Amino acid sequence: MIADFRAVILAQTKSTKTDRKLDRHRIAVFNGEESSKQGRQEGETVHEVERIADQAQKMFEGGAWHGPSVLEVLADVDANMAATHPIAGAHSIWELVLHLVATQAILLRRIRGESAGLKTEDFWPAVPPPTESAWADTVARLEQQEAELRHAIRVFPEERLDDRLTAEGSSAYNNFHGHVQHSAYHAGQISLLKKATCLKRDTQ
């Protein structure tokens, strides 16, 4: 397994055309050469919930500093690649995407005041039979719930950000920022799994 990970890291030195395009975009954002889609008029009040939702959007759709967003890294993934386990003992891309979907649903329920995500298995749904239509449905649900979640964050009462979302959980602020961090973490995992899958195909 360690050898597999080393091979993946080495493979990252072989940047694809898409990788280089994304790198140029991230450098432009870092240098302030591209204005934010969420640009505002001077003097306009920006609420904290809007800032969090903006970070969530960048992490999901693009423009984040850390690297490819969730949708960027999934752009060229098909059902076969999504279902593959290129690294022994690691999750597949499909399992990780379903995990993101489940986490979105749990957070939406918490925002409504429901107790959710109390068991580990709640976060890891079973992967359906690997067909292209099933994969498309999974990604569509991911996009739909992300849009719902960003809206829920934007309209969340700012004075309640430090309040617990549920009696047994942490604050709304921690949950919302945790969602952004969670997406970044798994986008990185998916990127490594893609490279590992391509590496295995090249060596077979």
Task: Sketch out the chain's domains with CATH numbers.
Answer: 2-37+47-203 (1.20.120)
- pLDDT score of 5 more than 60: no
Q: What is the CA radius of gyration of the chain?
A: 18
- CB atoms inside a 10 Å sphere around CB 5: 13
Which pair of structure tokens corresponds to residue 189?
């995992």
Which pair of structure tokens corresponds to residue 140?
């569509």
Rounded to the nearest 5 percent, the helix, strand and coil shares of the chain are: 65, 0, 35
Q: Report the pLDDT value the prediction gives residue 62, as an integer from 0 to 100.
A: 95
**pLDDT tens figures, 140-169:** 999 999 999 999 999 999 999 999 999 888
Which pair of structure tokens corresponds to residue 82?
């999504």
- CB atoms inside a 10 Å sphere around CB 32: 8
Long-range contacts of 159-163 (CB under 8 A, 24+ apart): 161/48, 161/49
pTM of the model: 0.80
Q: Share the mean pLDDT of the chain.
A: 85
d(Cα 40, Cα 50) in Å, to the nearest integer?
A: 12
Q: By the 8 A CB rule, do 149 and 100 touch?
A: no
d(Cα 73, Cα 61) in Å, to the nearest integer?
A: 10
**pLDDT tens figures, 46-97:** 799 999 999 999 999 999 888 899 999 999 999 999 999 999 999 999 999 9
- CB atoms inside a 10 Å sphere around CB 143: 15
- Which residue would you say has higher pLDDT here, 85 or 3? 85
Reported as a pLDDT band with limits 50, 70 and 90, residue 200 is confident
d(Cα 144, Cα 166) in Å, to the nearest integer?
A: 24
What phi, psi does 164 have (nearest 5°)? -65, 140
